[in-house]
Amino acid sequence: MAESFDSFRYISYLASRWRTIAGSAAIAVALSLGVSLAIPARYTATARVVIEPPAGADVRSATTVSPIYLESLKTYEEFASGDSLFQKAAQRFQLSGGPIESLKRRVLRVDIVRNTRILEISATLADARKAQALAKFLADATVELNRASSSESDQELLAGLEQQERDARTSLEQADAAWSAAISREPTAGLEAAIEEGASQRSNVEEQIQNEEVEIADLEDRIKAGDSAGEMGKEASNARARLAEMRRHLADLNGQMAEREKLLGMRQAHRDQLEADRQAGQAALAAIDARVRDARSERGFRGERLQVIDPGIVPERPSSPNIPLNLVVALLAGLVLPILFLTLRAHYQERRDFWEPRGFRAAVRTRDE
């Protein structure tokens, strides 16, 4: 019952001062209206740019928009809101109003529309036509800046690949020259013929050695049999001398053939290495040629493509000041603030009356009862 009485008394207290509350609200609305009418009107124009995926990308992946990809698109916000670009726009449209940084914060707003590939560029100025022209200029400049950046990246990539192509071609030419020089300076046909001839001579000498050995054995048998020992001994001695000479000749042939085979093996190994270098160079040149052709065919389609889909229109209504919103806020403030003030005042008055001697004794008496 006491709480109901206190609430009723509080409402009655506020109702008794309705003129104060109404006057405060009226003054706040009047001041808000006057200030809103005094502030110069400003107009906001918005141009929109769509960010298309690279032309060479898979169609299925292009339709799938991941949060990481959308986050990467914020790079293009920096393209549109760069200080140098805005300074160029400020000089073009003769914008003034302090340092370029503070002017940009007041005039320009660049955002990627949530969960889309749409870049919005908004310009706010006192002149509606100039605001639309500024937004369109920044959108066109952003598209051109992206195109120039992509073209520069493609040129750098192509220049690097072309340099690699020249290096590969030079390396292949050097490998071809080394292979040709090895063919002329290190022939193998003569060595192969000499080795074949040496093998034939060695076979003949070995056959002669076998014949001499057989003849010597026959002579020794005849000497043992006592058949003309003196004459047979002389013939055996001559046969042994011829056998020793043949064996020395065979040793010389074997040495020469070993040297020739070693030289032929070295030359053949050198040729094989040069041939492997030539084939590797041809394969590297073919691969880099394919990369150069691909880079030339994909030039201009490697990065995202920007296109202005909405240059914006000349705004007909000002974006600021928002008079209806300002009046509503002023009305609420004019009602809430005096009510809060009166509430605090009433609370303070009650506490002061309570601690006065007469009020304190009344309170004590009420408690004892």
Under a CB-based contact definition with an 8 Å cutoff, are residues 186 and 271 in contact? yes
Q: Which fold has domain 43-161+300-310?
A: Alpha-Beta Plaits (3.30.70)
Q: Which comes out higher in pLDDT, residue 309 or 222?
A: 309
Cα–Cα distance for residue pair 277/280, rounded to 1 Å: 5
Mean pLDDT, rounded, of the chain: 81
- CATH number 1.10.287 is the correct assignment for the domain at 171-297: yes
User: Alpha carbon of 74 to those of 86, 117, 119, 260: distances in Å?
Assistant: 18, 10, 9, 73
Cα–Cα distance for residue pair 224/168, rounded to 1 Å: 80
pTM of the model: 0.54
Cα–Cα distance for residue pair 143/51, rounded to 1 Å: 9
What's the mean pLDDT in 295-314? 78
Q: What is the pLDDT of residue 24?
A: 85
Q: What is the pLDDT of residue 129?
A: 92
Q: What is the pLDDT of residue 303?
A: 65
Confidence of residue 359 (pLDDT cuts 50, 70, 90): very low
Whether residue 242 is predicted with pLDDT greater than 80 in this model: the reply is: yes
> 159 exposed, middle or buried (CB, 10 Å; 0-12, 13-18, 19+)?
exposed
Letter string b/e over residues 303-317, b meaning 16 or more CB atoms within 10 A of that residue's CB: bbbbebeebbeebee
Cα–Cα distance for residue pair 77/82, rounded to 1 Å: 8
Q: What is the pLDDT of residue 136?
A: 93
Least confident span in 201-215, 273-287, 342-356: 342-356
Confidence of residue 123 (pLDDT cuts 50, 70, 90): very high
Q: Which of 167, 150, 166 is nearest to 306 (CA)?
A: 150
Q: Which comes out higher in pLDDT, residue 46 or 75?
A: 46
Least confident span in 61-75, 142-156, 305-319: 61-75
Under a CB-based contact definition with an 8 Å cutoff, are residues 36 and 321 in contact? yes
Q: What is the pLDDT of residue 1?
A: 38
